[in-house]
Amino acid sequence: MRPIVQRAAAYFPVAEPKSLNLVAFLENKEKSGTDMAFEYAFPHGWILARVSIVRTNGVLLLGGFYVNHVTMPVGDLLAMHWSQHGLRDSLWLAAAIIEPVFILGVLVLCVRTPIPKRKWLWLIFIAFGWLQLTLDWHNGAWHANPLGFQLLGSGYLVPMKYPPLIWPLYLTISIPVGAILFLFKRKQFLTAKSIPSQSVAARTDEPDHDGKPKADEAL
């Protein structure tokens, strides 16, 4: 334990902390464990110390001990202040909400549209958005995945960054290529469906060599 404690102590400045707060306390009764997180505020930054304690056969054991430098107080890391987000983030959030509704609407439209063959391929193509764009809601950083695809076009991910305390929010949107392409092709599908019915009606109305309509002769 001594080398581990020495490495952890090296993270802490020599100065006294301005404040020390218990910021998380989680108890796992099934595993007889307790997780605690403490926030140390120093003049030039913050340190997050997490301790996991496990009770085994009536004995308390140290299950884990973690020390991390953080860029801001835990309260700010967990908060979602709208004042910190501009127009881009607001549009990103709106797109993440609207895009699944748009794709579902196009899927219903595809089901009700007469497609000559392989309609199921269109349904799969429409159901996914392509070219993923992911935004870290807390710090505003974003990255693109050109080869990524997302069911219903958007989603969110909340991984545990500093368990059991901080869960950053990642919003992902993508381009609904299949839905947009289908809307352009839908008119062609409807036109292709109507042409055969018109030609059949025209043939049944044509008179035969006796001057009677073929439809009447069939009757």
Domains for the chain: give ranges and CATH numbers: 2-76 (3.10.450.630), 81-195 (no CATH)
pLDDT of residue 83: 60
Q: Which residues contact 81 (CB under 8 A, 6 or more apart)?
A: none
Residue-wise pLDDT tens digits, 75-121: 766 665 666 677 888 888 889 999 999 999 999 999 988 888 888 89
Q: Which residues contact 160 (CB under 8 A, 6 or more apart)?
A: 166, 167
Flag whether pLDDT at 131 surpasses 70: yes
Quick one: average pLDDT of 6-10? 83
- Give all strands of the β-sheet with 45-56 in edge-to-edge order: 19-28, 33-42, 45-56, 59-70
**Is 144 within 8 Å of 131 (Cβ atoms)?**
yes
pTM (2 d.p.): 0.57
Residue-wise pLDDT tens digits, 193-216: 666 554 444 455 555 555 555 544
Q: Tell me the CA end-to-end span of the chain in Å, nearest whole number.
A: 98
